[in-house]
Structure 1
Amino acid sequence: MSAPVPAPALTPAQLTQWEEDGYLVLPSFFDAAETGEMLARAHTLLDEFDVTGHPMTVFSTGSDEAKHVGDEYFLSSGDKIRYFLEPGSVVDGALTVPPARAVNKIGHALGVLDPVFAKYTFHARVQAVARAIGAHKEPEVLQSMVICKQPRIGGEVPAHNDSTFLYTDPPSAVGCWIALDECTPANGCLSFLPGSHKTARVSSRFVRAAAGGTEFVDVPGVEANELDWDKAEGWRQAPCPPGTLVLIHGSVMHRSPPNPSERTRMIYTFHMIEGADGWVYDERNWLQPTKEMPFTPLYEGPSHA
């Protein structure tokens, strides 16, 4: 008797929605035990955060480009697990809340270096979904992190697309965003502008500045977008329960509001880019692989995991 044929990772309707909207919400992708393991590990990492010697590097994605972090602690985090603080948690170089409540995110090699997050980053179901959407020939994983969206101080993330920050030529970024808490409008769930991946041009990129730090520069030959995306009509909220996987096209516009509530909005996310010949991820990008830790092929996983 032949082996049963496995169910497809995505239905035709889901693939159509992905192609039309530029994002796809997959509830119950991870079960309660799997999600609980990731959430417990995130809280353990937060409890282990030692502020002693920390440069008090905050992370902001505010609309003021000058707010974007660009110190050495940030720029050398591509092969490490590091802690970045909420702007609202630091006043005059000191924390205003307990250390575990001050963290904006933990990254950027979390999905490779931490065994729990590596298990789910390179999970067979994730690999199957990546094959189903067909966005990459040889997907590589980069920028893996827990984002905390802390109660009362979790900041706004304005409209953006991910290929601006993880630029390849041609653009190829896809995000995998996993809800570890209930994500609601009250605590900062995602919103998307459906179909914007078809019209939004990746006309600027976030790079290492020659004089140090980071900056945005124009992509040569790409006309700048004229639309104020935050004011565009048609935004759609994407509240979701724990265990949901949200796939995010690198060009789709998305955002999230601040979290004024008393509840965390903890999520885990990582990105994929094309690693095949013909796509260039260059030395100008803020996040850089190292000789010791190049970007990890999704279908192989980290050698030590």
Structure 2
Amino acid sequence: MTTGPTDAAPRERFEADGYLVLEDFFPSDEAATLIARADELVAAFKPDEVTRSIFSTNEQTRTSDDYFLASGDRISFFFEPEAFDSNGNLQVPLDRAINKFGHAQHDLEPVFDDFSRHQRLADLAGRLGVGGHALVQSMLIFKQPGIGGEVSSHTDHTFLWTEPRSVVGFWFALEDATLDNGCLWALPGGHRRKPARRFRRAPGGGTTMEVLGDEPPAGGAEAGFVPLEVRSGTLIVLDGLLPHYSLANRSQRRRAAYTLHAIDPTAHYPSDNWLQRNDLPLRGFRDRR
């Protein structure tokens, strides 16, 4: 396992930069197992008018239908914005049309549960000072070839708000992530900025994006962002206030990744956060079934 170009301790690098890149964190056979199970779940999905939900972060208020808002305690599937033609018909096969699924497979699916609570991740969380956090959300993001959508610059705290802030993201590369197929871009040190936005449920239904302060840079090397090109088996840890994004995938190579988000269970989790788990209990890194 490597922690980057220097020999600094992982926690020191994470606190300084707001992110941490750990190569060879998990073996290729585990990546293959997650992808195989993901493909099975997609193959079993039978979309209808209710579940034809499109995921987009460039217009957050679009992603506020009931199907999306009810996904916090189940496994729901979301389409790429470009998966459909102007008449609403799929332009690609189903297995190339799904943007992602989430948001509770880490609790509901044994394969994802075992991976999410592996001893190596629990140990790392402890070294980073978040060993007591609980896993609140998971996603399998496909970044489909040719139509994989852009994810605009954002911070995870915006979407998983706690008081005090506590969310930490864990991004596992299941396939190689390159400039061509939409790798992550991050703003080193950007986690020191104050929160700029909060995404929450609106009183009258749907969701709203509350503006709290000055927006961080939208992206690009000229604004200080750096591309995180990584091989399969790499883990990227993200501070909840770190601005990050990914560009569209116009290549013919998919860029599958699995993500987890963890929060301090003792922090206040507002009832108007978009993600609500209802009766599904929170479990930590070491709470294996």
Q: SS of 2:106's equivalent? A: helix
> 1:190: which partner in 2?
184
- CA spacing shift, 1:218–1:52, aligned 2, 3 Å: closer
Within 1, Cα distance between the matches of 2:278 and 2:203? 19
Cα drift, residue 52 of structure 1: 4.0
Letter in 1 for 2:153: A
> 1:93: which partner in 2?
88
Q: SS of 2:53's equivalent? A: coil
Equivalent of residue 263 in structure 2, options 248, 265, 273: 273
Equivalent of residue 157 in structure 2, options 156, 159, 163: 163
Within 1, Cα distance between the matches of 2:51 and 2:184? 30
Cα drift, residue 12 of structure 1: 4.3
Within 1, Cα distance between the matches of 2:120 and 2:88? 43
- Residue pair 2:61, 2:206 contacting (<8 A) in 1 also: no
Within 2, Cα distance between the matches of 1:126 and 1:153? 32
- Residue pair 1:143, 1:271 contacting (<8 A) in 2 also: yes
Where do 4+ consecutive residues of structure 1 move more than 6 Å? Answer: none
- Residue pair 2:74, 2:104 contacting (<8 A) in 1 also: yes
Cα drift, residue 243 of structure 1: 1.0
Cα drift, residue 98 of structure 1: 1.1
Within 2, Cα distance between the matches of 1:204 and 1:184? 29
Within 1, Cα distance between the matches of 2:131 and 2:42? 36
Within 2, Cα distance between the matches of 1:287 and 1:65? 14
Calculate the TM-score normalised by the size of structure 1. 0.88
Q: Residue 299 in 1 paired to residue 289 in 2?
A: no
> Which structure: larger Rg?
1
> 1:284: which partner in 2?
272
Q: SS of 1:95's equivalent? A: coil
Q: SS of 2:121's equivalent? A: helix
Cα drift, residue 227 of structure 1: 4.3
Q: Residue 130 in 1 paired to residue 155 in 2?
A: no
Query: How many residue pairs end up in the alignment?
Result: 284
> 2:44: which partner in 1?
48
- Residue pair 2:106, 2:116 contacting (<8 A) in 1 also: yes
Judge which range, 90-99 or 100-109, deviates more: 90-99
Cα drift, residue 254 of structure 1: 0.5
Q: SS of 1:112's equivalent? A: helix
Within 2, Cα distance between the matches of 1:119 and 1:74? 25
Letter in 2 for 1:272: A
Cα drift, residue 296 of structure 1: 2.0
Letter in 1 for 2:272: R
Cα drift, residue 53 of structure 1: 5.2
Within 1, Cα distance between the matches of 2:72 and 2:216? 32
- Residue pair 1:122, 1:299 contacting (<8 A) in 2 also: yes
Q: Residue 26 in 1 paired to residue 22 in 2?
A: yes
Q: CA RMSD in A?
A: 2.0
Q: Deviations over 1:217-241 (max 9, x none)?
A: 245xxxx125434266221111111
Within 2, Cα distance between the matches of 1:269 and 1:137? 17
> 1:250: which partner in 2?
240
Equivalent of residue 152 in structure 1, options 146, 150, 174: 146
Letter in 1 for 2:262: M
Equivalent of residue 115 in structure 1, options 110, 114, 117: 110
- Residue pair 1:137, 1:274 contacting (<8 A) in 2 also: no
Q: SS of 1:191's equivalent? A: strand
- Residue pair 1:137, 1:275 contacting (<8 A) in 2 also: no
> 1:106: which partner in 2?
101
> 1:214: which partner in 2?
207
Q: SS of 1:78's equivalent? A: helix
Within 2, Cα distance between the matches of 1:49 and 1:226? 38
Letter in 1 for 2:197: S
Cα drift, residue 94 of structure 1: 2.5
Letter in 2 for 1:49: F
Letter in 2 for 1:139: H
Q: Deviations over 1:30-73 (max 9, x none)?
A: 111111111211222222222245531101011x3443x01111
Calculate the TM-score normalised by the size of structure 2. 0.92
- Residue pair 2:13, 2:19 contacting (<8 A) in 1 also: yes
Within 2, Cα distance between the matches of 1:89 and 1:239? 26
Within 1, Cα distance between the matches of 2:132 and 2:9? 25
- Residue pair 2:54, 2:81 contacting (<8 A) in 1 also: yes
